[in-house]
Amino acid sequence: MTNSVAVVTGGSGGVGLAMAKLLARDHHVVLSDSSGERLHRALDELDSSGVSAESIVADVTDRRSVETLLRAAREAGPIASVVHAPSGVARRACPESIVRSRVLGTIHITAATLAVAGFGTTLIHASGHAAPPAPLTSVPRWIFRLAPTDPEGVATALTRLADLGPARWGPGTAHALSGTFVDWYTARMAEVYDACGARLRSVTAEAVLELCRDGLGRPAPVLGEPAA
């Protein structure tokens, strides 16, 4: 066991717990979710498995809440990895909830992680890559460029787009639009992370567990040492 830390957001669900158990092979785990009750149950399960973990309630749609989470995690040790998996949003939730969780969560987690990242810190965004239930004629990506200065504006614009079609298509379209944003924003910010000696990736939700079994299960290199 090292003194490095792995943070898992949306961590109270089954996938989050599985990720936490894998990451705990080499890291102290900080589990986060918006529900204190769900986190309490998740932490009890991890404790019963002998996992070194703690929980912090945080709302990923709130910038200050996310900043507080990452600062607290950094106090526990150098952050090796952050896995952002907003599993708390139901697949059939309203478009606004889906977009805000995924879009604002991605923006806030990316910024807050970068602020505390060290050499080799890895941030993974779980992107669903969901196909919309009906063809989207175009995605006005100029909206995405507002992300650094107006995150709320991006979320509002994408929610309106998701609401344009029949109500039954709304959740699927919201997932598709927000997934497209996550991929675009991650690619844009990956260069910033690279310049700081950190790493940023967006992968399918299904691939997150495999990554935890592989590279994210190992401690990040110590500053001054070459990466493997």
CA distance 1 to 171: 41
How far apart are alpha carbons 99 and 178 in whole angstroms?
6
Residue 1 above 50 pLDDT? no
Tell me how far apart the alpha carbons of residues 39 and 166 are, in angstroms, rounded to a whole number. 35
For tokens 């001054």, the residue is 224
Nearest of 218, 212, 215 to residue 11 by alpha carbon: 212
pLDDT of residue 136: 56
Q: What pLDDT is attached to residue 187? A: 92
When comparing pLDDT for 199 and 172, which is higher? 199
Q: Is the pLDDT of residue 226 over 50?
A: no
pLDDT for 133: 52
Least confident piece of the model among 94-108, 150-164, 214-228: 214-228
pLDDT in tens, 38-71: 888 888 888 888 888 899 999 999 999 999 999 9
pLDDT in tens, 153-188: 999 999 999 998 888 888 888 888 888 899 899 999
What pLDDT does residue 121 have?
A: 95
The pLDDT value given to residue 221: 40
Confidence of residue 83 (pLDDT cuts 50, 70, 90): very high
Q: Provide the mean pLDDT of the chain.
A: 84
pLDDT surpassing 80 at residue 7: yes
- State mean pLDDT over 199-219: 74
pLDDT band, very low/low/confident/very high, at 216 (cuts 50, 70, 90): low
Q: How many Cβ atoms are within 10 Å of 31's Cβ, its own excluded?
A: 26
Q: What is the mean pLDDT of residues 223-228?
A: 35
Q: Can you list the alpha helix ranges (DSSP code H) found in 49-139?
A: 63-76, 95-99, 105-116
Whether the predicted pLDDT of 193 surpasses 90? yes
pLDDT of the residue at 67: 97
Alpha-helical segments (H) within 88-202: 95-99, 105-116, 151-162, 170-195
Q: Is residue 209 packed enough to be buried (19+ CB in 10 Å), middle (13-18) or exposed (0-12)? A: middle
Instruction: Name all domains of the chain by residue range, CATH numbers in brackets.
Output: 5-129+179-217 (3.40.50.720)
Provide the pLDDT for residue 192. Answer: 96
Q: Which amino acid is at 59?
A: D
